[in-house]
Structure formats: structure tokens, C-alpha cells
Amino acid sequence: GQQLNQSPQSMFIQEGEDVSMNCTSSSIFNTWLWYKQDPGEGPVLLIALYKAGELTSNGRLTAQFGITRKDSFLNISASIPSDVGIYFCAGKGTMGFGNEKLTFGTGTRLTIIP
């Protein structure tokens, strides 16, 4: 199935460091979403982006909808232990209003080194 290219695949950082990850697609998306998944749980929505160029923050998280509509970025500032998990980007295409199909990125696994 189709997937977005998400990088990096994994990150090992120290508490307090900033984190950046991104997703790119060969297709144009109308919506970009960023989810976080903890072990044994379903993905939880972090940020939703609806317009090209849009920059949206949620606490220490900031995400941007790329101008080309083919990419998106997520930044986490001053990481804390609870940031550990897998982060997924997801895009929703241009198949019309109400189409629910999301295409997911391959995920970025964030680990915080003590």
C-alpha cells in the first residue's frame, strides 16, 4: 500500500533536546496530521494542518504544512521523558469532502537516553 516517506526512522536524544522530523509525499495532500502512538495503544492526534504554509503549535510541539502540499514537519522543543513513542504523519488527499482515507508515514521512533 501507499506510504509517506518519513524521516528519520528513529532518534536517540537526551532529555531537553529539540527534535525535528518530516514527511514527504509524491502526492498532494489537503490535510496533514501528526499522531503519536504509545506501546499497546492507538495513535493519538497531536496536530492537524489544513492549509499550505500553515504553522500550528500545541504546547512544545510545532508542525508545518509545506508550501508544495507534499511535505510536513514536526518539531518538539525541550523533550521530556513522556515524549518517548512513535510519531506518525498522515496525509489526506483530494478525493473529495468526507473521504476518510489516511495515508500514513512509516513512523519515527523517539527514544530518550538517560
Partner 1 sequence: KAGVTQTPRYLIKTRGQQVTLSCSPISGHRSVSWYQQTPGQGLQFLFEYFSETQRNKGNFPGRFSGRQFSNSRSEMNVSTLELGDSALYLCASSRPGQGGTGANVLTFGAGSRLTVL
Q: Does 44 bind partner 1 (CB under 8 A)?
A: yes
Q: How far apart are CA 86 and CA 46, in angstroms?
A: 12
Stretch that binds partner 1, among 18-26, 30-38, 66-74, 75-83 (CB under 8 A): 30-38
Look-up of cell digits 509517506: 4
Q: Does 3 bind partner 1 (CB under 8 A)?
A: yes
Pure H helices in 2-108: none
∠ Cα 67 79 88 (to 5°): 50
Residue 72 identity (one-letter amino acid):
S
Q: How far apart are CA 23 and CA 87, in angstroms?
A: 11
Binding residues with partner 1: total (CB under 8 A): 30
Binding to partner 1 in span 70-109, by CB under 8 A: 88, 90, 92, 95, 97-107
* Contact set with partner 1 (CB under 8 A): 1, 3, 30-31, 33, 35, 40-45, 48, 50-51, 88, 90, 92, 95, 97-107
